[in-house]
Chains A and B, each alone.
Chain A
Amino acid sequence: VTLSDTSRAIDSPTGDHDATRLSTQPPPVAPPAPGRTSLLAPVRRTWRQLTSMRTALILLFLLALAAVPGAFLPQRGLNPVRVDEYFVAHPSLAPVLDRLSLFDVYAAPWFAAVYLLLFVSLIGCLGPRIRLHARALRTPPPVAPRTLSRLPVSERWETDAPADQVLEAARRSLRKARWRVVLRRAGGAQEQTAGALSAEKGYLRETGNLLFHVSLVALLVGIALGGLFGFQGTVLVKEGDGFASSVFNYDDIKPGRRFAAEDLVPFHFVLDDFRATYTEDGKALTFDADLRYAEGPDDDLKPYGLRVNSPLAVDGAKAYLIGHGYAPRVVVRDASGQVAFDQSVPCLPQGPTFLSTCVIKVPDATGEQLAFEGVFTPDTIQEPSTGRVTSVHPAADNPGLTVVGFRGDLGLDSGTPASVYAIEDRSRLEPIGDGTPQLLEPGDTWELPGGGSLTFVEPTEWATFQVTQDPGKLLALLAGCGMVLGLCLSLFVRRRRVWVRVSEPAGGAVEGRRTVVELGGLGRTGSEAFATEFAALTERLRASGSTTTTSTRE
């Protein structure tokens, strides 16, 4: 019974229970008769407990509570680096929290337990509610209560028109206002009553309510589909470089549990140019990545301007721009003057002014191997006294590359994977010269003491792209629309009933004895809107009744 239905069943003022119950909420189930206990009884009792509104409420609050720690503790799925930092900062507490899955709250078994129980409870009560509503949709509005004047709103007037015509006019008027109307002719017991109309409106309230809750289930299914069959990969691409989407080409991938490599949408692109613009105080204004892309290997490349908020969509896969940085192009020559290295080296930004660090490894130099640590500064300032280099703005207006060099053995032959952003093994490396950092501007060449040279050609840029595939996305979106629509219906539509009873003096309308029209209405308690609607309805029925009267007299 997780379905909220604030149109409470109204206590019957007439003794007619069915007619005055506006809600399709199932009535409380009577406890099973004692004596007939079966093995299934405890199971049934547990099921009833689980699907009760009270349990659902508790589970809702538990869900809110369970989500809280994830908002304060760093989460692996969101930012693994900050989780590592937390481990360093709280070495004794972190492992305990980790055992409780507090760094993966939203993937934790206890979190799943709460929402799965909630959804079981929801589905358990959706079934009966849908059945009841389907029945209510087919059931005609209930028979009029005996005394309409005891309903929350009622009216009574007399007219000269014959009863049949009054009834017909009322029926047409109600139908026109899209009420569901049933006309019941009077039986023999109440001779004076010519008949009564039962009309009902606002079935969409419960329809909306059910739509909302069914959409919630659909949303969960959509999320699960994404989790099982989705894919996410990130890759860094330098200006001028290309990228072909294949599981092996990404720097980092997060495939869903049931994701197969052949599910990956094949496409490839070339990053021609990346541009970032900034305000004077260094806030980012725009990011633009000019791509040329194609879906198949033989297709022609089509241009695309990729921006934040405007991803590239290729047949179920989407590529997003999620990061950027500088990649200074560096040429290294060995002692013989041969070019041993000519590449753009991606540097990782260390702060908002894009002071970035990188490493240049030159294993192919004849003789000894070379390595350099570099600091790239887009808007360079060097403090005259200390020689410290900093960057004052993220735009590359005054780029500088500060390098220190090493010579020796990089240890790359050991077979262990080497990072492109750090020199791990320095044991067989010697500093070049006296180890003083060299600040280079574009075009500058540092003649290395002991032979060889390093040239900082120009600053180029790189961008990181995230490619995602989420087959559950469309379902989730539709579910979201269903939720909003369902909510609006269930909160703004009112369910209400009116009855019109027309009584005729025995033996037809005789001079001086007139037809009596009674009108009674039932809406949500205290609803002013219904009172207004009822008053308008009364007006209309009176008017339509008298029009008929006039027309029949002609």
Chain B
Amino acid sequence: VTVPDQGLAQLSDNLLFVTVIVYALAMLAFAGDSAARRSRRATAAVSRTTGTRTSPSRTAAAERTRAMAMAGGGDAWLPPAPAAPAPAAPAGERPAGRAGTIGLALTVLGALVHVGSVVTRGFAADRVPWGNMYEFSSATALAAVGVFLFLVLRGKVDRRVGAFVMLPVVLYLGLAGTVLYTAAGPLVPALDSYWIKIHVAAAVLASGAFLFSGVVALLYLARSRYDEKLADGASARFPVSMGAVLPSAQALDRASYTVIAFAFPVWTFAIIAGAIWAEAAWGRYWGWDPKETWSFITWVLYAGYLHARATAGWKGRKAAWVAVAAAVALIIDYYVVNIFVVGFHSYA
């Protein structure tokens, strides 16, 4: 029996703490970027209609207020970056704000620290770093951030979704690091198999991608409602008003599809690998254990999404709601089942 390396375990915990802070800063930078774009757009609109220019200081102040509103509280601490864009520059001339670049850089930095946290955790316990709910959540968040970064850097997703992606990531990691926290330790015998490397790794990757796609689907819904309101000449209220700072509905829809089309085969593989493992461990490949059942429900819902997107009358918002429902099923699969339902998967 290997005794967990306490020094490494402590290092892993500290790195996770740093990760959360860096992600939170990234979120604020992205939020500042969105606010700057929005005010730029507003300024442009005002200039066009009235021919007057808003004074730089007032624009900056408005941005600061909006950035705070985006950050979710009046007393939220704001880094200097988002609050200080060059306000004198004419609207629309900077395609991507500096704050957005900072947000992206911070996300990359955070992800690197996050990788450090996950890897040191693995070395501390001398096994794969996804053996309990805390580790699983951390790895899933890393997968989600990885998918987000990959898509942004490949130009498939606009960085404007950054704040909306990083907010749930920060909350999720915060929750994982406090409520679900489990000290580094060995695995229970049922988990001690090479299948944990395959089955759980696939599940982590697919879940991270699915959770990301769930956020994008929600953003699509907001943007699509926003477009509709705008076309009707009606004013949009929160959360639909978020649509103003989001990429086009079509781009969001495609991003959500791209991610789900990638994650669905991975999820299918995870379930099948799980079935093979269950066959080796419990003597049956499928037994409607609550975790299996919810994985199945999640799978069916994502299959429904892929079909819905190709069916007349289901494209667009209906399909997006299916993607959101599927992401909710996924969350139930992990948290509600592990914590509240007794089954074969109730470890840790």
Interface residues, chain A, with chain B CB atoms under 8 Å away: 2, 4-6, 8, 53-54, 56-57, 60-61, 63-64, 67-68, 70-72, 75, 77-79, 82, 105-106, 223, 232, 277, 279, 283-287, 307-311, 318, 320, 322, 466-468, 470, 473, 476-477, 480-481, 483-484, 487-488, 491-492, 526
Residue of B whose beta carbon sits closest to that of A467? B283
Whether the Cβ atoms of A223 and B341 lie closer than 8 Å is no
Question: Which residues of chain A come closer than 8 Å to B105, judged between CB atoms?
Answer: none
Q: A480-B275, A487-B268 are in contact. Are A64 and B301 (CB under 8 A)?
A: yes
In the complex, residue of chain A having the shortest beta-carbon distance to the beta carbon of B348: A283
**CB atoms of B275 and A54 under 8 A apart:** no
Contact call B280/A57, Cβ cutoff below 8 A: no
Cross-chain contact B272 with A484 (CB below 8 angstroms): yes
Ranked 9 nearest A-B pairs via Cβ: A480-B272, A320-B283, A309-B193, A71-B293, A487-B265, A64-B300, A60-B304, A466-B283, A71-B290
CA distance A240 to B59 in the complex (A): 84
A467 to B284 CA separation, bound complex (whole angstroms) = 10
Indicate with 1 or 0, residue by residue over B279-304, a CB within 8 angstroms of chain A CB atoms.
Answer: 11111111111100110110011011
- Pick 26 A–B contacts, CB within 8 A, sort by A: A4-B303, A4-B309, A4-B310, A6-B309, A6-B310, A54-B314, A56-B307, A60-B304, A64-B300, A67-B297, A71-B297, A72-B341, A284-B189, A285-B186, A286-B192, A307-B189, A308-B190, A311-B280, A318-B283, A467-B283, A468-B283, A480-B275, A483-B268, A484-B268, A484-B269, A484-B272
A54-B314, A491-B265 known; 6 other A-B pairs, CB under 8 Å? Answer: A70-B288, A71-B297, A71-B341, A72-B290, A309-B281, A491-B264
Q: Are B283 and A286 in contact (CB under 8 A)?
A: no
Contact flag A57-B311 (CB < 8 Å), given A279-B185, A308-B192, A322-B282: yes
User: Which residues of chain B have C-beta atoms less than 8 A from A2's C-beta?
Assistant: 307
Q: Which of chain A's residues have a CB closer than 8 A to the CB of B277?
A: 309
Which residues of A sit under 8 angstroms from B185, Cβ to Cβ? 279, 283
* Chain B residues closer than 8 Å to A71, beta-carbon distance: 290, 293-294, 297, 337, 341
Q: Is B331 an interface residue (CB 8 A)?
A: no
Given A4-B306, A6-B309, is A64 in contact with B279 using a C-beta cutoff of 8 Å?
Answer: no
Q: B308 at the A/B interface (Cβ < 8 Å)?
A: yes
Q: How far is the CA of A310 from the CA of B195 in the complex (A)?
A: 12
With an 8 A cutoff between CB atoms, is B45 at the interface? no
A472 — nearest CB in chain B belongs to which residue?
B285
Which residues of chain A are near B257, meaning CB under 8 Å?
A: 6
A54 & B1 in contact (Cβ 8 Å cutoff): no
Evaluate contact between A106 and B288: CB separation under 8 angstroms: yes
- Residue in A232, A283, A526 whose CB lies within 8 Å of B284: A232
Task: For B309, list chain A residues within 8 Å (CB).
Answer: 4, 6
In the assembled complex, B313 has its CB within 8 A of some CB on chain A: yes
Q: In this assembly, does B261 line the interface, its C-beta being within 8 Å of a C-beta of chain A?
A: yes
Chain B residues contacting A284 (CB-CB under 8 Å) are 188-189
Among A56, A70, A480, contact of B293 (Cβ-Cβ < 8 Å): A70
Once A71-B297, A277-B1 are accepted as A-B contacts, the answer to whether A78 and B276 lie under 8 Å apart by CB is no
B342 is an interface residue with CB less than 8 A from chain A: yes
Partner of A285, one of B1, B268, B322: B1
Task: Tell me whether B304 and A64 are in contact (CB under 8 A).
Answer: yes
Question: How many residues on B have C-beta within 8 angstroms of the other chain's C-beta atoms?
Answer: 55
- Compute how far the CA of A78 lies from the CA of B188 in the bound complex, rounded to whole angstroms: 21
Let me know if B329 is at the binding interface, CB within 8 A: yes
How many Å from the CB of A367 to the closest CB on chain B?
A: 46
Q: How distant is A327 from chain B, measured CB to nearest CB, in Å? A: 20
The answer to whether A57 touches B341 (Cβ under 8 A) is no
- Please, which residues of chain B bring their CB within 8 A of the CB of A286? 189, 192
Q: Looking across the interface, which residue of chain B has its beta carbon closest to that of A486? A: B265
By a CB distance below 8 angstroms, the chain B residues around A308 are 189-190, 192, 281
The answer to whether B189 and A483 have CB atoms under 8 Å apart is no
Q: How far is the CB of B155 from chain A (nearest CB, A)?
A: 8
B254 nearest CB neighbor, chain A only: A526
Judge whether A322 and B283 touch: CB under 8 Å.
yes
Are the CB atoms of B313 and A54 closer together than 8 Å? yes
Q: Are A64 and B286 in contact (CB under 8 A)?
A: no
The residues in B between 178 and 199 inclusive whose CB is less than 8 angstroms from any CB of A are 185-186, 188-190, 192-193, 195
Assembly CA distance A71 to B290 (angstroms): 5
Listed residue (A8, A67, A71, A82) with the most chain B CB atoms within 10 angstroms of its CB:
A71
Point out the residue from A64, A72, A279, A320 that lies within 8 Å of B282, measured CB to CB: A320
Known contacts A53-B307, A309-B192: A473-B283 contact under CB 8 Å: no
Contact A64 B288 (CB under 8 A): no
Shortest distance between the CB of B339 and any CB in chain A (Å):
13
> Nearest residue in B to A106 (C-beta to C-beta)?
B288
- Cα distance A77–B289 when bound, in Å? 10
For A61, the chain B residues whose CB sits under 8 A away are 300-301, 304, 322
Instruction: Tell whether, in the assembled complex, residue A223 and residue B265 are in contact, meaning their CB atoms are under 8 Å apart.
Output: no
Roughly how many angstroms separate A458 CA and B300 CA in the complex, as a whole number? 53
Closest chain B CB from A76 CB (angstroms)? 11
Q: Which residues of A contact B293 (CB under 8 A)?
A: 67-68, 70-71
CA distance A466 to B282 in the complex (A): 8
Cβ of A283: which chain B residues have Cβ within 8 Å of it? 185-186, 188
Residues 302-348 of B at the A interface (beta carbon under 8 Å): 303-304, 306-311, 313-314, 322, 329, 337, 341-343
Q: Judging by beta carbons under 8 Å apart, are B297 and A68 in contact? A: yes
Report yes or no: B279 in contact with A473, Cβ–Cβ below 8 A.
Answer: yes
Query: CB-CB < 8 A to A54: which residues of B?
Result: 311, 313-314
Q: Which residues of A have CB within 8 Å of B261? A: 491-492
List, in ascending order, chain B residues with CB within 8 A of A287's CB: 189
CB-CB < 8 A to A467: which residues of B? 283
Smallest Cβ-Cβ distance to A79: which chain B residue: B342
Whether A77 contacts B300 by the Cβ 8 Å rule is no
For residue B157, give the distance in angstroms from its CB to the closest CB of chain A: 13
Given A70-B288, A75-B288, A279-B186, A57–B272 Cβ distance below 8 Å? no
A309 to B283, CA, bound (A): 9
Residues of B within 8 A of A82 (CB): 342
Q: Which of A57, A284, A307 has the most CB of B within 10 A?
A: A57
Residues of B within 8 A of A477 (CB): 276, 285
- Which of chain A's residues have a CB closer than 8 A to the CB of B314? 54, 57
Residues of the A chain whose Cβ atoms lie less than 8 Å from the Cβ of B300: 60-61, 63-64, 67
Find the A residue at minimum CB distance from B309.
A6
B328 to A: closest C-beta gap in Å: 11
Complex CA distance for A476 and B328, rounded to whole angstroms = 28
- Residues on B with beta carbons closer than 8 Å to the beta carbon of A232: 283-284
Alpha-carbon distance between A320 and B280 when the two chains are bound, in angstroms: 8
Contacts of A318 in B (CB 8 A): 283
Q: Which residues of chain A come closer than 8 Å to B269, judged between CB atoms?
A: 484
Enumerate chain B residues within 8 angstroms of A322, measured Cβ to Cβ: 282-283
Known contacts: A308-B189, A308-B281, A310-B280. The answer to whether A6 contacts B341 by CB under 8 A is: no
A56 to B262, CA, bound (A): 23
Q: Flag if B313 contacts A6 (CB, 8 Å).
A: no
Q: What's the least CB distance linking B96 to chain A, in Å? A: 19
Bound complex: CA A492 to CA B264 (Å): 12
Alpha-carbon distance A152/B265, docked complex (angstroms): 30
Q: Which residue of A lies closest to B261 (CB)?
A: A491
Residues of B within 8 A of A68 (CB): 293, 297
Residues of A within 8 A of B304 (CB): 57, 60-61, 64
Shortest beta-carbon distance from B198 to chain A in Å: 12
Considering the chains assembled together, what is the distance between the CA atoms of A526 and B314 in angstroms?
A: 20
A78 to B346, CA, bound (A): 14
Which residues of A sit under 8 angstroms from B308, Cβ to Cβ?
A: 57
What is the CA–CA distance of A62 and B328 in the complex, to the nearest angstrom? Answer: 17
Residues on the A chain within 8 Å of B195, using CB: 309
Interfacial chain B residues near A6, Cβ < 8 Å: 257, 306, 309-310
**Contact B329 A64, beta carbon cutoff 8 Å:** yes
A480 to B299, CA, bound (A): 14
The answer to whether A309 touches B264 (Cβ under 8 A) is no
Q: Are B286 and A223 in contact (CB under 8 A)?
A: yes
